[in-house]
Amino acid sequence: MQENDWISAAAEHLAALYDQEFGGKVSGRYRIPEKLVRRIAGRRRLYEADIRALSIALFELGYVLIDMDSFYVVMSANSFVNYRRANDDCVA
């Protein structure tokens, strides 16, 4: 097993959770504590570079990983498509 295979496997596991029913919802965005992300990854520690690599792998699968310091949020990248856009006029 290659050193970075755990990143792909963890990203696929986190993506699969998006479609599972739990927390009173059929599917959708969710938050997950760092402890469970480490367990899914099979790692004792996750470094900044690990989280960045995991985030990239999840994005390739169509999901966004948001680091909230004590937990992570996983959302579909499509969730952001319909957000309103800031432009020059509103920033000025």
CATH code assigned at 43: 3.30.1370
pLDDT in tens, 42-83: 999 999 999 999 999 999 999 999 999 999 999 999 888 888
Structural domain tally of the chain?
1
Model confidence at 4: pLDDT above 80: no
Identify whether 88 is part of a domain: no
Annotate 14-82 with three-state secondary structure: HHHHHCCCECCECCCCEEEEHHHHHHHHCCCCCCHHHHHHHHHHHHHCCEEEEECCCEEEEEEHHHHCC
Identify whether 26 is part of a domain: yes
Residue 46 has a CB neighbour count (10 Å cut-off) of: 16
Assigned token pair, 52: 């960045």
Identify whether 84 is part of a domain: no
Identify whether 64 is part of a domain: yes
Higher per-residue pLDDT: 18 or 3:
18
What is the reported pLDDT for 12? Answer: 97
In terms of residue numbers, what domain contains 29?
5-78
What is the reported pLDDT for 1? Answer: 46
| 3 state SS of 1 | coil
Assigned token pair, 56: 């990239």
State pTM to two decimals: 0.85
Q: CA-CA distance, 56 to 15, in Å (whole number)?
A: 12
pLDDT in tens, 15-49: 999 999 998 988 899 999 999 999 999 999 999 99
